[in-house]
Structure 1
Amino acid sequence: MRWLSLLWFAGLALAQPTLRLEEGWVRRVPGNITAAYLVLYNPTDRPLKIVGASTPIATRVEFHQTTHAGHDDHLDISAMKRVDALTVPAKGRLKILPGGYHLMLYGLREKNPKSLAEGQKVPITLRLEGGVSLTFTLTAQTR
């Protein structure tokens, strides 16, 4: 009977969604708003949907996407729109990088009276559909 319990716990651990952080940083800026960037790898056989995020250094985190319009050399219009969720494809990567998807961190001064220091470690918690949360540590960088 004990081995059945062990098998159940092992199966539960294997069933938990997981993501791997391949790259990540928080843009170091003096203001009250910044952005976080990540490259995530999903080793599982099914897509993983990220439905929320938080960090102790900001009052809120939103998912945004930068879009570009204009195709000639003289016109490049960029716009940013909020998105509800991000999906990491099965056995694939989601690049959350400048010029595309990114995490906007708002209210830095309310949580963090000093500006972010170069090299400061910043925990970011991602909430997946289904209730699992994963925390990654990013580094504040001037880029």
Structure 2
Amino acid sequence: MTNLLRVGALLAALSLNISAYAGDIQVDGAWSRATAPGQADAMADLSITSKQAATLVGISSTACKSVELHSMTHEGGVMKMREVKTLELPAGKRVSLGESGYHLMLIGLKAPLKAGEAVPLMLKIRAAGKREVNVEAKAEVKPLAEAKAEPKADEHMHHNHH
């Protein structure tokens, strides 16, 4: 029975890391971090590769009230975040949100994010010919201690939004 549980846990962990595909679009590396008690918002990151030129035009999740794409810039020594409505996805180029100065904000969480869970995401992407496709992805929720490269949860919530 113990081996069966181990195999089950391994399969569950692997399923969180499987890339999501929809036609010519691949979403991978989606993750978020566990939230602190009372924290209403969280950050998520992911990478998107489209075989043809496309545009990310929307994101939603059943785990929160809304999802916003934000750009991050440093101005006068202060990190500023601004909502961005669309993001160009050049043909054949992997766009990693964090490396490109972007991230997703999960706003109005319906429940705390716990390590080991996954946040469902639905990305709306406009492909060539103005055709829109929905790509489902799951963001693995990592423990706070694993997300050392990112700002701490309380630091992140104090950035200026414009």
TM-score by length of 1: 0.74
1:116-141, CA deviations, whole angstroms, 9 ceiling, x for partnerless residues?
Answer: 11011111100012321000111011
* Change over 3 Å in CA distance of 1:85–1:17 after alignment to 2: farther
Shift of residue 27 of structure 1? 2.4
- Whole-angstrom distance in 2 between the partners of 1:67 and 1:18: 30
Which contiguous aligned blocks of 4+ residues in structure 1 show a shift greater than 3 angstroms?
none
Q: Aligned-pair distance for 1:99?
A: 7.9
**Could you list the per-position Cα deviations for residues 54-88 of structure 1 after superposition, in whole angstroms to 9, with x for gaps in the alignment?**
11100001110001134xxxxx3210011111121
C-alpha RMSD over aligned residues: 1.8
- Cα distance in 1 for partners of 2:124, 2:28 equals 18
More helix by percentage: 2
Structure-2 separation of matches of 1:29 and 1:98: 22
Question: Unmatched 5+ residue regions in structure 2?
Answer: 1-21, 148-162
- What's the counterpart of residue 41 of structure 1? 49
1:82-109: CA deviation from partner (whole Å, max 9, x where unpaired): 111112110101111178101111110x
Query: CA–CA distance in 2 between the matches of 1:41 and 1:118?
Result: 26
Pairs aligned (count)? 117
- The match for 1:124 among 121, 126, 132 is 121
| Matched residue, 1:92 | 93
**Are 1:140 and 2:141 an aligned pair?**
yes
**What percentage of residue pairs aligned between the two structures are identical?**
29
Segments of structure 1 that go 5 or more residues without pairing to the other structure are: 1-15, 71-75
